[in-house]
Structure 1
Amino acid sequence: SAQLGVLFTLLVQYPNALMVWGFVIITIFLLVGYLGAKLLPGNPPIFFMEVPPLRLPTFSNIIIKTYARIVWYLKEVLPLFILASFILWVGQIIGLFNLLVWGLSYPIKLLGLPEKTAVAFIFGFFRRDFGAAGLYDMHKAGLFTVNQLTIAIISMTLFPACIAQGLMMVKERGKKMGVAIFIFCITAAFIVGFSTNLTFILFKIHL
C-alpha cells in the first residue's frame, strides 16, 4: 500500500533496520498463523484451482469491471474516508485530539519513542497515510534514532490500517468480531514494539 511505500523509503536507508523489520514482521505473521491454527482448528479445505489459459482481455469487460469497482469504492469506501477526516477536523477543534495525544503519550514512552510520535499514531488511526507521513516528517526533522525509527515503523506496520478499515471489518464480521480484531491489532502492535525496544536495550543493539 501507499503508506508501506513511505515506510520503506525510510527503512531502505538503513539495511540493518530493514532486516530487523522484516524478521520481526515475518516472525509475527508465522506465530499468529500457528497459534490461530492451534486455537481455532478446522478441516483443511479441499480446493483445486484450474489456471485458465492466458488470453488478451476483452476491452468491454475491462470497462464494465472498472466501472463496477469505481462505483463500489465511491459508495462504500469514500464515505468512510470522509467521515474519518471529519472526525479528525472536529477533534482538533474541540480539543479531543490533544486529549488523545496526552493519553497515548505514556504507552509511546514505553516503546522508547518521543512523545510527538503519539500524533503520528493518532493520525494513522484515522488515516494510515497521515501516520506514515508523520513518521517521515519526524525522521527528516532528526527526532528519531535508527533504533527508534525501527520500533516506530514495526509498530505502525502492525497497527490497524485506519478507522475506515475498522468500520469495514465491523460491517463484514459483525460488531463483536470486528472490535475484537481491532483491539487485538492495537495491543499486538504495542506489545511487539515494546518487546523490540526491550531487546535493543538488553542486548545493547544499535542499528
Structure 2
Amino acid sequence: MEIPPIRRPQLGNLLKKIRARLVWYLKEAVPMFILGTLLLFTADRTGFLTLIKRLGDPIVMGLLGLPEKATESFIIGFLRRDYGAAGFFMLSKNGIMNARQVCVALIVITLFMPCIAQFFVTIKERGLKTTLAIAAFVLTFSLGVGGLLNWILKEGWIRL
C-alpha cells in the first residue's frame, strides 16, 4: 500500500476550501435554521408547543424518569442540540435532575435527530416520506434506549 507524503497545506487551497464550505453553509444551513426558528416561534404562539409538551410529558416523566421541565429542554434541543444540553445542565445545576436523569437525558438527546435544520436538509436530500420514516425510527430508538437505560440505572445494575 502506498502512502502519499504528508505536506503542509497551501494557504490558497485552504482558503478556497474554507470559502466554499462557508458559502455552502450560508446558502444551505442558515436558511434551514431560520425556517426552523420561524416554525417553532409560530408553534409557540399558536399553542402547538404546549400541546407537544403535554403529549411528551408522560413519556419524559414516565418512561425516561425525568422531571417535567426536561420536556422543554428536549423541545429546545430539536431547535439546537446544544441548547437542549444547556437546559439539562441548568436543571442539574439547580438540583432538579440527578446524575441518573442527566445521563438518560443526554443519551436520548444524542440519539435524537440532530436538529430541525438537519431535519429539513434530510427532507431536501431524501424526500419527506423517507425523512419521516427516519425520524420515526430515530425517535422510537432513542426513547427505547433511554427508557431501558433509565430502568437499568434505577434497578442499580449500573451505578453512576
Question: In the TM superposition, what is the alpha-carbon distance from 1:175 to its structure 2 partner?
Answer: 2.6
Aligned to 1:159: 112
Question: In the TM superposition, what is the alpha-carbon distance from 1:86 to its structure 2 partner?
Answer: 1.5
Aligned to 1:185: 138
TM-score for the superposition, normalised by structure 2: 0.91
1:112 to 51, 65, 71: 65
The gaps in structure 1 that reach 5 residues or longer are 1-47
* Misfit runs of 4+, over 4 Å: none
Q: How does 1:1-207 map to 2 (within 5 A)?
A: 51-109=3-61, 110-203=63-156, 206-207=159-160
Counterparts of 2:77 and 2:11 in 1: how far apart (Å)?
Answer: 38
Identity of aligned residues (%): 42
Question: In the TM superposition, what is the alpha-carbon distance from 1:188 to its structure 2 partner?
Answer: 0.7
Q: Name the CA shift for 1:104/1:63 in 2 (closer, same or farther; >3 Å).
A: same
Q: What number of residue pairs does the alignment pair up? A: 159
Question: In the TM superposition, what is the alpha-carbon distance from 1:84 to its structure 2 partner?
Answer: 1.4
Q: Name the CA shift for 1:51/1:104 in 2 (closer, same or farther; >3 Å).
A: farther
Q: CA RMSD in A?
A: 1.7
Counterparts of 1:63 and 1:167 in 2: how far apart (Å)?
Answer: 28
1:89 partner amino acid: F
3-state SS in 1 of match to 2:9: coil
Question: In the TM superposition, what is the alpha-carbon distance from 1:202 to its structure 2 partner?
Answer: 3.1
Instruction: Answer yes or no: is the 8 Å Cα contact 1:166–1:179 preserved in 2.
Output: no
3-state SS in 1 of match to 2:89: helix
Counterparts of 2:46 and 2:126 in 1: how far apart (Å)?
Answer: 32
